[in-house]
Chain A
């Protein structure tokens, strides 16, 4: 399945090549026109039945990159020290299997064993500088034969199905679920086309989307994302950012963007007409590519539609397949509706 295959690929911000190559292969099979820019953003031009040449009017994006680690230094003992790339919780790192660099050298994230920790250390979450990656090297020289400072590190996790196939678990559902949705959307037929962009470096500051928006110069942009589902026992319902299984989430406002009111209205209208569930993202923090896209050139009407996902930015995130399927259909309906009626 597309989401699972995409989720398993390593693609930490700045090193999206394997994800890009996979998506490009899919585009080639579908014979969809595509190109890549200097930063690594992958563009696909979806033609409509009416060959209007206005495919740039609507831009749909999904970021390909995921959070991860980068090697910072090599210890005399051959242990590797690292930095985080993108927002990642230290506590989620200990004892995870990882792969390092283009050659995917396997390693595990280690820490001082419980026996050796002082009682106060056991109570506190481990910090990055108390952790290291162990690739089984006997010395610095031995380690440097396989890896070097600056190599990327990604979780080594296979995606799986849960709950009678209702749920998908995997490491990089944020935002390979969005990439899979965008690929799915590219396979449908439309009266008029659109431009799809698989962006890079979202997790380190929306960097790919900035130059992509400049290049495409769209009027309207819809960002396909994956967002925190916080329907968890220790929180009250009013504090749930989103809830799993209640349909895709529309963003009203986050830390980077206020969704354009016409875009938001049209998303709601589309979902209502299709009789599909939807929810609003009840959390006004964090960033998406829509933030930078909305400010490109003289401004772009931008919105965000997300699949709710528990435990994002860890090696074990979880999403509901139905939410994702509804997202695809609503986004497709949105594109058709904008072409048919305009946005005003």
Chain B
């Protein structure tokens, strides 16, 4: 599990540029699935189990937040826009990397008045002395993701893009765990562009017409000093069964299925009500005539920062819970 998370979080993949991460994931799962394909938007779909039975779509988004270059200044500094929910206050001093390996550090202009800096007050410095040097390495529209080293300490992982490579890792480990035969048909979908508004999940659930939907994603916690939101969720207390976020009210049937599977297999779990934020389940459950959907969440601190944190035990329990869920009849 550790090596897998390290590989996945070490891979480039901002929303809209998921090719590399997609091929890394495919290499991991290829020997264990019955079939796979990539759809028009880049969603990676792998299937397993009996397609004659109820079909379950299990989605984890493989994209991450990042920046996109909008302007190259004469002196070689880059201006940018956010890809996904960028938090301005976390940017200064962050390192970013482009797909071709070009690295940059974020600087901030002197502010004329005391206020929260806007995105346009920041710039990216790739060490270029002028625009021409900069243009040899990057062009307008190129995207970059955070660059931060992986660390594992006290069973807790610190890394970039745990949102949602942690979810991808849970899917991959589950795929490797499962027996050859399943009582249901399962589509494992590694979706694109979740961070831009659940854009990948929408067409892929239209295409697959599942009977049920499940998203696996990270969620906020309330166990840090003076947390932003009043939540009971804590790192290390088990994966979370989502009840509601701003994109979906989870279907009671799925919540019950998940809870029963956790209780029967003695897997610790927590209930989650998230005030802000959405997941792919938001798009899946409104596909066509509606798809009963739920979310398996991995508690995560410092979401959308260069160093997010999850608990390895939570991850392993999430794999156990998902594996149990997929071996039941639906």
Contact = CB atoms under 8 A, between A and B. Distances in A.
Interface of A: 13-14, 37-39, 41, 70-74, 81, 83, 85, 129, 148-150, 201, 204, 207, 210-211, 214-215
A210 B251 contact: no
Interface stretch (B14-22, B159-167, B189-197, B284-292): B284-292
Contacts of B289: 37-38, 211, 214-215
Contact of A81 (B230, B272, B286, B290): B230
A37 B289 CA distance: 8
Given A149-B273, A150-B271, A72 B231 contact: yes
A213 to B, nearest CB: 10
A79 B251 CA distance: 27
A186 B47 CA distance: 45
Interface string B220-260: 00100000011110000000000110100101000100000
B138 to A, nearest CB: 38
Nearest to B248: A207
B290 A150 contact: no
A210 B286 contact: yes
21 contacts: A13-B249, A37-B289, A38-B251, A38-B292, A39-B290, A39-B292, A41-B290, A70-B243, A70-B273, A73-B232, A74-B232, A83-B275, A150-B255, A150-B272, A204-B246, A211-B286, A211-B288, A211-B289, A211-B290, A214-B289, A215-B289
A37 B230 contact: no
Contacts of B272: 149-150
A71, A72, A81, A210 — most chain B CB neighbours (10 Å): A72
Given A38-B290, A150-B244, 16 more contacts: A14-B244, A38-B289, A38-B291, A39-B292, A41-B290, A70-B244, A70-B273, A72-B230, A72-B232, A83-B273, A85-B244, A148-B271, A149-B232, A149-B272, A207-B285, A211-B290
A71 B230 CA distance: 10
Contacts of B230: 72-73, 81, 129
Interface string B144-160: 00000000000000000
Nearest to B244: A70
Contacts of A201: 249
B172 to A, nearest CB: 29
Contacts of A71: 273
B240 to A, nearest CB: 10
Contacts of B286: 207, 210-211
Interface of B: 222, 229-232, 243-244, 246, 249, 251, 255, 271-273, 275, 285-286, 288-292
B222, B249, B285, B290 — most chain A CB neighbours (10 Å): B249
A140 to B, nearest CB: 10
A37 B291 CA distance: 9
Contacts of A211: 286, 288-290
Given A38-B290, A39-B285, A207-B286, A72 B273 contact: yes
Contacts of B273: 70-72, 83, 149-150
Contacts of B249: 13-14, 201, 204, 207
Contacts of A38: 251, 289-292
Given A72-B231, A72-B273, A149 B290 contact: no
Given A83-B275, A149-B273, A204-B249, A73 B231 contact: yes
Nearest to A216: B289
A211 B251 CA distance: 14
A256 to B, nearest CB: 15
Contact of A73 (B222, B255, B285, B290): B222
B288 A214 contact: yes
Contacts of B231: 72-73
B244 A149 contact: no
Nearest to A41: B290
A234 to B, nearest CB: 32
B274 to A, nearest CB: 9
Given A73-B230, A207-B286, A149 B251 contact: no
A210 B247 CA distance: 14
A207 B291 CA distance: 12
